[in-house]
A and B are shown apart, each in its own frame.
Chain A
Amino acid sequence: MTSTPPQVHFDDVNVGDEIPTLTVTVDPTQMFFFSAATYNGHRIHYDRQWAKEVEGYPDIVVQGPLQAALLARAVTDWIGSAGTLVNYAVQNRASAFPGDELRFRGVVTAVRAEIGADTAGPATGLVDLEITGLKGDGQVLMPGTATVRLPRRG
């Protein structure tokens, strides 16, 4: 990342707002690095013959935790350096495969100002989101919710 995007503030967020959609096509190289970074030896993520012949998948399977990490990234990209992820909950609904176009999106469902919770720190507010990972054809891979803390203006 060469430049930091402008910081989003709690005051500027409204129910119904959509966060920028993250569109990603995972390839086997990225899957290899993710398995390495998570110490994941599960053969369905790298052994195509095993995935197809033993487990009946059409190809190696994108790791569920990678889908989850990408969906979280859509949220943390949006909240910027001054925002924090407070809660993150997702369900794995479907498998994705290398070459699939994946879309990760979120919509604001509630905003809650935090009053007097921490008088020493900067003023903040909580934002609830409904978040979804989808395939290009619209199939839901991963539905969920997130709550983030954003700074207030001024």
Chain B
Amino acid sequence: MSSLPEPSEDSRDVEPLIPAEMAARIGEVVASRTAVVEVKEFQRWAASVKDRNPLYFDAEVARANGHPDVPMPPMFLQQVALGVADLDQLRPDGTAGTGNGNLSFPLCPRRMAGGENHTFLLSVYGGDVITQERRIDSIVEKSGRSGRFVLVTWKTTYTNQRDELVAESTSSMIARP
């Protein structure tokens, strides 16, 4: 039995942070969900940001500015179609992974949000029916000041009950060893 060459001293023997079965999922649609916009839900969100913008709470102010009713805060859009977690299936850190594809990077248990980019095209109101479709756009290993990490990027579209595109988003997550 011939022996393999000794591993060199460079980084080629470092185990990749991205398992092959995760890399194979690039392009996959990981969430396609539809939900009705609830005024109370987006008002609770605005209140938790301490954003008491009268546009979100006072229908008269909204109508005076050309809206039929209080508009949803645009930054709430990514919350509208969140799924329902099975608490017995959570990761040890309490995250559910619902809606982003339950991607698993066993060598990178520490996760944090990377960035987000939203283009808002239309206002949304209570009772609107929003369909969110999220796709894995890329999964890449990078190296930064604090070492190696995995960067996952998703692209998401939001459409309403009239099939109008309401918003488009790109978002990312960083997972570190």
Contacts and interface: CB of A to CB of B under 8 A. Distances in A.
Interface of A: 1, 4, 24, 30, 33-34, 36-39, 41-44, 47, 50, 54-55, 64-66, 68-70, 72-73, 76-77, 81-82, 84-92, 95, 144
Contacts of A54: 93
Contacts of B95: 41-42
Contact of B48 (A30, A43, A44, A144): A30
A43 B95 CA distance: 8
B61 interface: yes
Given A42-B93, A42-B95, A1 B116 contact: no
Nearest to A91: B115
B5 interface: no
Contact of A72 (B55, B75, B110): B75
A69 B120 contact: no
A64 B85 contact: no
B116 to A, nearest CB: 6
Nearest to B176: A55
Given A34-B45, A44-B93, A144-B115, 14 more contacts: A1-B54, A33-B47, A37-B41, A37-B47, A37-B79, A38-B45, A39-B82, A43-B93, A65-B113, A69-B49, A73-B49, A81-B62, A87-B118, A88-B74
B64 to A, nearest CB: 7
A41 B96 contact: yes
Given A30-B48, A42-B94, A69-B75, A85 B85 contact: no
Contacts, number: 110
Given A47-B94, A77-B53, A88 B118 contact: yes
Contacts of B52: 1
B93 A39 contact: no
A85 B73 CA distance: 10
Contacts of A42: 93-95
A38 B47 CA distance: 12
B117 A88 contact: yes
B119 interface: yes
Nearest to A47: B94
B24 interface: no
Interface string B102-119: 000000001011111111
B49 A70 contact: yes
